[in-house]
Amino acid sequence: MNDRPDPHDLHDLLAHATDAIERPHLAGTALREAHRRRVRRRGAAAAFVASAAVVGVVATTLGGSLVADPAPPPQGTPTPTGTPSGTPSPDDGRTGPATWPTFDPRTAPDLPPAPDDLAPALPRVVDPPASAPSVAQDPMPAAVVASVDRDAGLVRLLGTDGRWRTQAVSQETPSAALSPSGTSLVVWDYVAYDASVVDLTTGEDRTVPPPDPAAVGVLEAPNWLWLDDETLTTVGFDRSFVVDADTGTAERAPFDLGGLSSAVDSDGAVMTSAQWTTPNVLTDWAGGEPREVSMERTGRLSYLAADDDGTVAGTSYDGRPFAVVADRRTLTPWALLPVRDRGAAYSNGGLSVLGLAEDDTVLLRVARLGTGDYAGFDVVAFDPGTGEVSLVSSLSSGDAFAAGLLREVAAPPPPDPEPPVADPVEPADVQTAWDPDDVESLPWDDTLGLPRDLSVGVGAAERGAARAVAVADGAVSVLGPAGWYVGAELPDGVGDDATVAIAPDGSRFAVVDGDVLAVSTDDGWTTLPLPRAFSGAGDFYTDLDFVGTDRLLLGEWNRFWEIDVAGGDAVRLPFDVIDEVVPAGGDVLADRYSDTEVNVLERWRDGTATVLGDLSALESTQRPASDGASLVTVRADGGYYGGQPDVTDTDGLLALDLDGLTVRGFLPVPSRASFYSDNANLTPLGFTDPDTVLAEVRPAGSPGTTWLVTWAVGTGEVHRVASFPTDQPRLALALDALGAD
């Protein structure tokens, strides 16, 4: 092939044709979108999420956050936040946070469902049963939700296997927390200084002693939360401890969990927002050293969630209630969700941040406000990139979550593998060129059992296995081992212009003409209903082929159907006017091509069309035929630009392996004015065996005679098989029956 002629001329024209396109200023939008997606791409990592105790369930942890005090009520009379603002404020990520339409938490149960990939371990409805086997009897792979039933002295656990278990607890007022991946449970009592740890995968439990014996009876008993699946930390002493959950070994923590709210990210790093009585800063211990950041721009965050990718989410009730998503390093807000807070119910514990999913979606816990008490709650997803809120789950109860499981975003289903793209014909694929005008010098191939003279006859030979059929003189003539015989008189309404087809094994044949479609039987014909959209008009050429032995492929210029011979059911195939649609073993193949579309090969199987690959590099492919494993087609050269053509720049017969679309062989059949390609004087009929193609050719020098030739795909050898007058009735050959005795 040849190189471009004069690139700079064409370059200049293309540049001229686009010279008014201005810089789009997309960097800010791209940065914001990248920020939203960043974590999703890094794969799953367990993480704690910030969560909060529901008012009245003091000191119950939800994942990895503790709230020492409920947020103070808003100052003065609660102020409704008004109507939704419609569209967010600045969207370019440069001038300020996006402020999304106001969310009314009372609408949570009616929100549209969240995407299925969000928190996939959490069922859409969580409602603990009255009874379930104990963890000791029936250990579980992990639990996603723990629900404390103080009256029953149980913690009910929903497993990732979808089944519930129970864990009996001895504490009078138990609180519970699940480890990030849900494999362990810690239970404690607000008046006790020790805790119980249960390995949910084995059912074994053990007691973790007080981390600071000197504090027992002197200081307030601690609350517990998980730093990771093996490590606990405490809050509530005058100092914090890191405790090995297995051994109970404790040491002073390098952080201080005393504050308004604390969170632990997926790396086990802790952050705490300051109490109302202290300066308005968030202290972040990521990296080991405390780093204080002003919460002036976010408002004091009373519920916290953080990830290790630089994002913080929280709720703030400074002025108006908001859910805030901010940059962890600077606490610069980049998304705000105003919250309608009638009666200050939501700012008093009814709404909290449950966690951050891997894709930065914020999970909110929204209490269902009943008549003076909470009637369950909903987990609501807030997408800070789009402002969308949706319903993740509705829970009748639930006090602790496995933070890492909540954080998960299911991997999207793998995309369909890109179909292969055929490489162009390479010089190594090119066999010795063949000129059909030399057909009479070819050696004969008589192994197919066809007479060398294939002129259609209306004979009376002994009936036998059919190898070919044609319509002639009001009947279907059949070629058997002994010659031509009348297979059947044409059914009523069918004339000599009918299209005829024969099953690959010769077991039956079919005709279509106008509004009659009939299939041969042992004693005559059975007619099948034609699809209503089939015109049958003489203006359109009708194609008829067998797909295997029990289906027909019926086509007219722009429509194709697959018809079940037994029941007559017809299915319209999703192919179009310029597609070439042919049987391929038990499937159907379509070579789809137009001036503006890629030359694509599709396969119809079991009611579904699948792209097998892109044939564009092969240039024009015409009149394909297939046995289901290979494809043979007339390849028409797409032309070249300047210079001299190389050996691949020619028309010819091309065979491809359907698996990978690799070239099996290319037999050049040069012609002037596309005589053999575009003018359809060379047509492959199919494969007589996996390595042999049977083709029909009308030599340019003697087009009045049509020849059947075989092409050995692997060697390039060509043999002649038979000939017949070009103007005789159309033959249909039973390829699988050829060569059979």
Partner 1 sequence: MDEREFTEWAGGCERALLRSAYLLTGDLHRAQDLVQEALTKVALRWPRLREGNPTAYARTIIVRDNVSWWRKRRRESVSDDVGRADAAGGAVSTDPDAALVVRRALARLTSSQRAVVVLRHFDDLSERETADALGVSVGTVKSQNAAALARLRTGAPELLDLIGRTR
In the complex, the residues that contact partner 1 under the rule CB under 8 A are: 1-7, 9-31, 33-34, 37-38, 41, 418, 421, 423-424, 426, 595-600, 609, 611, 614, 616-617, 619, 638-641
Q: How far is the CB of 284 from partner 1 (least distance, A)?
A: 19
- For residue 569, the one-letter residue type is D
178 contacts 185 by C-beta, under 8 angstroms: yes
Least distance from partner 1 to the Cβ atom of residue 422, Å: 9
Please identify, using beta-carbon distances, which residue of 9 and 489 lies nearer to partner 1.
Answer: 9
Determine the Cα–Cα distance for residues 6 and 547; give it in Å rounded to an integer.
50
Across 411-437, b (16+ Cβ under 10 Å) vs e yields: eeeeeeeeebebeebeeebbbeebebe
Q: How far is the CB of 573 from partner 1 (least distance, A)?
A: 13
Record the tokens describing residue 375, joined without a space. 């009637």
Tell me whether residue 7 or residue 76 sits nearer to partner 1 (CB atom).
7
Looking at beta carbons only, is 152 or 617 nearer to partner 1? 617
CB of 528 to partner 1, least distance (A): 30
Name the residue among 629, 538, 40 with its Cα closest to residue 309: 40
**Tell me, what amino acid is at 301?**
L
Could you give the 3-state DSSP secondary structure of residue 694?
strand
- Residue closer to partner 1 by CB (options 27, 458) is 27
Q: Which is nearer to partner 1, 648 or 671 (CB)?
A: 648
Both tokens assigned to 625: 């035929």
Closer residue to partner 1 in complex, CB, 18/77 = 18
* Closer of 5 and 133 to partner 1 (Cβ): 5
Angstrom distance (rounded) from CA 258 to CA 276 = 12
Answer for the pair 69, 275: CB distance below 8 angstroms, yes or no: yes
Interatomic CA distance for residues 440 and 267, integer angstroms: 81
Residue nearer to partner 1 on the CB measure, 19 or 492: 19
CB 191 to partner 1: min, Å = 49
State in angstroms the smallest separation of the CB of 451 from partner 1.
43
Nearest to 144 by CA among 129, 162, 169, 125: 162
Q: Could you tell me the smallest distance in angstroms from the CB atom of residue 618 to partner 1?
A: 9
User: Least Å distance between CB 662 and partner 1?
Assistant: 13
Q: What angle do CA 25, 30, 31 make, to 5 degrees?
A: 110
Q: With respect to partner 1, which residue has the nearer C-beta, 20 or 218?
A: 20
> How do strand 125-126 and strand 389-395 relate by DSSP bridges?
parallel
Min dist CB 11 to partner 1, Å, is 5
Computed from CA positions of residues 631, 632, 637, 643, in that sequence, does the dihedral angle turn out positive or negative?
positive
Q: Smallest distance from the beta carbon of 31 to partner 1, in angstroms? A: 5
As measured in angstroms, the least distance from the Cβ of 531 to partner 1 is 22
Which tokens belong to 357?
Answer: 């999913």
Q: Which two tokens stand for residue 141?
A: 């792979």
Of 398, 375, 343, 325, nearest in space to 109 by CA: 375
| Closer residue to partner 1 (CB): 133 or 424 | 424
Nearest approach, Cβ of residue 335 and partner 1 (Å): 16
Helix (H) or strand (E) holding 91: none
Instruction: Give the residue from 683, 670, 655, 667 showing the smallest Cα distance to 716.
Output: 667
Question: Whose structure tokens read 């009372």?
Answer: 106
Closest CA to 382 of 146, 41, 120, 105: 105
Nearer to partner 1, 300 or 559 (CB): 559
**Rounded Cα–Cα distance for residues 395 and 368 (Å):** 10
Token couple for 57: 């369930």
The secondary structure of residue 349, as a DSSP letter, is I
Give 41 or 532: the residue with its C-beta nearer to partner 1. Answer: 41
Min separation Cβ 312 and partner 1, Å: 17
Q: Side by side, which strands form the sheet with 205-208?
A: 174-178, 184-189, 195-199, 205-208
Tokens of 523: 């004693």
User: Element (H or E) spanning 11, and its range?
Assistant: helix 7-16
Backbone angles phi, psi at 29, to 5 degrees: -65, -40
| CB of 306 vs partner 1, minimal distance in Å | 18
CA 230, 313, 92 angle in degrees (round to 5)? Answer: 135
* Smaller CB separation from partner 1, 37 or 106: 37
In this structure, are residues 81 and 339 in contact, taking their beta carbons and an 8 Å threshold? yes
CB of 20 or CB of 214, closer to partner 1:
20
Bridge partner list, 484: 479
* Residue 208 and residue 233 in contact, taking contact as beta carbons nearer than 8 Å: no
Query: Three-class SS of residue 637?
Result: coil
User: Could you give the CA distance from residue 376 to residue 239 in angstroms, rounded to a whole number?
Assistant: 34
**Sign of the CA dihedral running 447, 449, 453, 454:** negative
CB-nearer residue toward partner 1: 81 or 599: 599
Edge-to-edge strand ranges of the sheet holding 718-725: 682-689, 692-697, 705-712, 718-725
| Shortest Å, Cβ 625 to partner 1 | 23
Shortest approach of partner 1 to residue 715 CB, angstroms?
Answer: 24
Smallest separation (angstroms) from partner 1 to the CB of 700: 23
For the beta carbon of residue 13, count every other beta carbon within 10 angstroms.
10
Edge-to-edge strands, sheet with 333-338 = 98-99, 333-338, 322-327, 311-316, 301-306
Contact criterion met (CB below 8 Å) for 89 and 100? no
Residue 619: CB minimum distance to partner 1, A:
6
In the numeric block, the tokens 């050696």 are attached to: 443
User: Which CB atom, from 419 or from 548, has the smaller least distance to partner 1?
Assistant: 419
Cα separations in angstroms, 197 against 106, 126, 531: 37, 24, 70
Report the residue number, 2 or 521, with the smaller CB distance to partner 1: 2
Nearer to partner 1, 18 or 441 (CB): 18
